[in-house]
Amino acid sequence: MTQPTATAHLTLATPAEQAARWQIHFAAWGIGFDHGLFLRREAALAETPYGHHQVRQWLWRADDGRVLASCETYGSAAWYVDPVGRLSREPLQSVASVLVAPELRNQGYAAAMMPALVRQLRAEGTTLSTLYSDVGPNLYRRSGYMLHQSRESFVTVAGAPTWPDATDRLDLSDLADVLAQQDDLASAWLGASAAPAVVEVAAVDRVAWFATRSRYRAWARGQSPNAVVGASCGNDGVCLWTADSAEPVLHVLLWRPRDGSGADRLTQAALAHAATLGLAQVVWWDADRDTGLDPYRRPPLQPSGITSRDRSTGLPMLAWLTPGRQMPMVWQGIERLGWC
């Protein structure tokens, strides 16, 4: 591998540069999309409140102006409880879409960009960063990211599942109160936790950003979009989901049943919704990882009939950008933000 350009520097993309980069994104990640529809989706995502205020595209630029590599960051927050039980709300930036154009690969540009990005985020006051690696963890380990071991679990859609009784469909207009309640519950649980833990905060504009992705995925499949983004069993729990994936699956973003009955009803709702979209499976990330510390990963709160498998892509990684922070034994993320 040749040495990367020593004088490259990190800059934010202009709107024109961002649009030009989307062309390369399509070549790398546009599976299942018509070229024009993919570009319209990227523009629509950038115009959402979350995309406009919290998503940034970074360029690793040589002195002569050439773009050597790029990535995106997504702003949010997370609750953290440290080993002695102190609770804090941390600014979080997720990293996604790390990309080097094919003709520039194997020259060390992404490896040089990542430490510069970490320094930039640290200087802005970010304390916690996550990413989901599709190329293996070694590139990111050198910048301080540590692999969080996990698996994924799934239930196959069979027959024509129906929506369960006493379970409400959720759309975006329902989410403000639901997510505020979930944030209160998460902070209360963490306040009583006996082990280091991180719980990412789900916000309405962030879920709306995923809903925009799901809408374009439906159009790419020749289907009509569906406004349902989750299900609620009242006091028995809530879950959120998205259909934005290259595979015909419904991904669960947030899983918060209160008991086994709630888990079964939420699973049934997810299967029913997946069936209406013509999807083959409902997938939970980390769903069988039971440390005994995370209440939502214990067997009584897992879906009935669930099957688990190893995950070779989208490996979750986390880095503290401030010293002296311990890696959590429990990490409740709300999604894989690296989808493109």
Which domains does the chain possess?
9-147 (3.40.630.30), 151-312 (3.40.630)
- Rounded distance between C-alpha atoms, residue 338 and residue 133, angstroms: 8
Span 176-215, pLDDT tens digits: 999 999 889 888 888 888 789 999 999 999 999 999 999 9
Q: What is the pLDDT of residue 337?
A: 42
First to last CA, the chain: 27
Mean pLDDT for 51-76 is 96
Q: Is the pLDDT of residue 36 over 80?
A: yes
**3-state secondary structure at position 207:** helix
- Rounded distance, CA 135 to CA 108, Å? 14
Reply yes or no on whether the pLDDT at 70 is more than 60. Answer: yes
- Whether the per-residue pLDDT at 278 is higher than 60: the answer is yes
pLDDT of residue 245: 66
What's the pTM value of the predicted model, to 2 decimals? 0.91
Q: Is a pLDDT exceeding 60 seen at residue 310? A: yes
Angstrom distance (rounded) from CA 187 to CA 193 = 10
| Distance of alpha carbon 65 from the chain centroid | 31
* pLDDT for position 335: 63
Q: What would the pLDDT profile of 19-28 be if each residue is shown by its tens digit? A: 999 999 999 9
* Residue 314 structure tokens: 């989208």
Give ∠ CA 147-145-80 in degrees, rounded to 5.
Answer: 85
The reported pLDDT for the residue numbered 3 is 52
Q: Is the pLDDT of residue 340 over 50?
A: no
Mean pLDDT computed over 94-119? 94
Helix (H) or strand (E) holding 283: strand 281-285
CA pair distance 135, 148, nearest whole angstrom: 15
Q: Is the pLDDT of residue 339 over 80?
A: no
List pLDDT tens digits, range 38-50: 999 999 999 999 9
